Structure 1
Amino acid sequence: MRRVLAAALLVTATGCSTAPAEPATQSTAAPDKIAWGPCTDIKRPDGEPPARQDPSVRCGKLSVPLDYAKPDGDKIDLALIKLPTTSKSKPLGSMVFNFGGPGASGVDTLDQAAKALTNLRAHYDLISFDPRGVERSAGVRCGNGAEMDKFTALDTLPPGEETDREIDAANKQFAALCQQNSGKILPYIGTVNAARDMDRIRAAVGDPKLNYVGMSYGTQLGGVYATEFPKKVGRMVLDAPLDPTVTFEQRTLAQTRGFQRAYESFLRSCLKSTCELGKDQASANANVEKLMNQLTTKPLQVGGRALTQGLAATGLAAALYSELTWPFLEQALGDALKGKGEALMYLSDSYTGRNEDGSYSTQMTSFPAITCVDTAERPSEAELRRTAEASLKISPLFGSEGSGGLCSVWPVKGSNQARHVNASGSAPIVVVGGKGDPATPYEWAPKLTAQLKTGRLVTYQGEGHGAYLSGSKCVQGLVDGFLIEGKLPEKNASCPAA
Structure 2
Amino acid sequence: MRRSTGHPRVRWSRRGAAGLVVLLALALLAGCAAGPSQRPPVAVRGELLPAAPPPPAAQAPADPDRLPEAEPLRSGPPFADCTDDVLAGLAAAGTPVPEGRTLRIGCGRLTVPADRNRPDLGPARLGLTKVTAPGAPADLPALVVLGDTGVDGSARAAARLAAQLPDPVLQRYQVIGMDRRGTGEDLLDCAPADARAALLDAGPERGDEAAMSALLERSRSIVQDCYLLLGGQLTSFKAAGSADDVEALRTTLGLARLNLIGVGDGADAAAGWVAGHPGAVGRVVLDGPGDPTLDEPARTEAVTAAAESAFDAFAGACATGPDCPLGPDPRASVRRLVDRLSGTALPVGDGDSLTAGATLRAVRTLLSQPSRWPELQTALAQADAGDGAGLARLLAPLGGPQGRFDAALATRCNDSRVRATPGEAAARAADWDERFPLFGVAAAQDLVACGPWPSGGQVAPATPQGSALPPVLVLGTAQDPRAPQSGAERTAEQLGNGRLVRWEGAGTGAYPRTPCVNAVVGRALLEGRAPAEPVVCPP
Same fold, TM exceeding 0.5? yes
Q: What is the alpha-carbon distance in structure 1 between the residues aligned to residue 292 and residue 533 of structure 2? A: 23
Q: Which residue of 1 aligns with 2:142?
A: 94
Q: What is the alpha-carbon distance in structure 1 between the residues aligned to residue 299 and residue 189 of structure 2? A: 25
Q: What is the alpha-carbon distance in structure 1 between the residues aligned to residue 207 and residue 295 of structure 2? A: 23
Q: State the AA in 1 paired with 2:378.
A: Q
Q: Which residue of 2 aligns with 1:493?
A: 535
Q: What is the alpha-carbon distance in structure 2 between the residues aligned to residue 324 and residue 219 of structure 1? A: 21
Q: Helix, strand or coil: the match of 1:296? A: helix
Q: Helix, strand or coil: the match of 1:487? A: coil
Gaps of 5+ in 2: 1-48, 55-74
Q: What is the alpha-carbon distance in structure 1 between the residues aligned to residue 498 and residue 342 of structure 2? A: 46
2:525 to 456, 473, 483: 483
Query: What are the Cα deviations for residues 271-304 of structure 1, in whole angstroms up to 9, with x where unaligned?
Result: 324544344x3xx433322211111221112122
Contact 2:197/2:399 (CA < 8 Å) preserved in 1? no
2:356 to 295, 309, 330: 309
Query: What are the Cα deviations for residues 384-438 of structure 1, in whole angstroms up to 9, with x where unaligned?
Result: 233322221112211131543233211x34234x224323521110011111222
> Matched residues, percent identical?
26
Instruction: Measure how far apart 1:446 and its partner are.
Output: 1.1
Higher mean C-alpha displacement, 50-59 vs 258-267 = 50-59
Q: State the AA in 2 paired with 1:293.
A: D
Say if 2:402 is the partner of 1:360.
yes
Higher mean C-alpha displacement, 297-306 vs 159-168 = 159-168
The CA RMSD over aligned residues, in Å, is: 3.1
Q: Helix, strand or coil: the match of 2:149? A: coil
Q: Helix, strand or coil: the match of 1:396? A: coil
Instruction: Measure how far apart 1:114 and its partner are.
Output: 2.8
Say if 2:83 is the partner of 1:36.
no
Cα–Cα, structure 1 residues 207 and 296, in superposed 2: closer, same or farther, change >3 Å? same
Aligned runs of 1:158-169 on 2, under 5 Å? 158-169=206-217
Instruction: Measure how far apart 1:47 and its partner are.
Output: 6.7
2:384 to 321, 337, 349: 337
Q: What is the alpha-carbon distance in structure 2 between the residues aligned to residue 331 and residue 187 of structure 1? A: 39
Q: What is the alpha-carbon distance in structure 1 between the residues aligned to residue 356 and residue 94 of structure 2? A: 30
Instruction: Measure how far apart 1:215 and its partner are.
Output: 0.7
Instruction: Measure how far apart 1:473 and its partner are.
Output: 1.4
Q: Helix, strand or coil: the match of 1:115? A: helix
Q: What is the alpha-carbon distance in structure 2 between the residues aligned to residue 253 and residue 188 of structure 1? A: 25
Aligned runs of 1:252-271 on 2, under 5 Å? 252-271=300-319
Say if 2:161 is the partner of 1:113.
yes
Q: Which residue of 1 aligns with 2:444?
A: 401
Higher mean C-alpha displacement, 148-157 vs 395-404 = 148-157
Q: What is the alpha-carbon distance in structure 2 between the residues aligned to residue 193 and residue 316 of structure 1? A: 29
Q: Which residue of 2 aligns with 1:23?
A: none
Q: Which residue of 2 aligns with 1:183?
A: 231
Say if 2:265 is the partner of 1:222.
no
Q: Which residue of 1 aligns with 2:61?
A: none
Q: Which residue of 2 aligns with 1:129?
A: 178
Q: What is the alpha-carbon distance in structure 1 between the residues aligned to residue 181 and residue 52 of structure 2? A: 19
2:285 to 237, 240, 248: 237
Cα–Cα, structure 1 residues 247 and 211, in superposed 2: closer, same or farther, change >3 Å? same
Q: Helix, strand or coil: the match of 1:408? A: coil
Contact 1:33/1:62 (CA < 8 Å) preserved in 2? no
Q: Helix, strand or coil: the match of 1:104? A: coil
Contact 1:152/1:311 (CA < 8 Å) preserved in 2? yes
Cα–Cα, structure 1 residues 35 and 172, in superposed 2: closer, same or farther, change >3 Å? same
Say if 2:433 is the partner of 1:433.
no
- Residues paired across the two proteins, number: 459
For normalisation by structure 2, the TM-score amounts to 0.77
Q: State the AA in 2 paired with 1:488.
A: A
Higher mean C-alpha displacement, 424-433 vs 63-72 = 63-72
Cα–Cα, structure 1 residues 475 and 48, in superposed 2: closer, same or farther, change >3 Å? closer
Query: What are the Cα deviations for residues 192-230 of structure 1, in whole angstroms up to 9, with x where unaligned?
Result: 222122111112112111100001111111110011111
Gaps of 5+ in 1: 1-25
Q: What is the alpha-carbon distance in structure 1 between the residues aligned to residue 184 and residue 507 of structure 2? A: 26
Q: Helix, strand or coil: the match of 1:390? A: helix
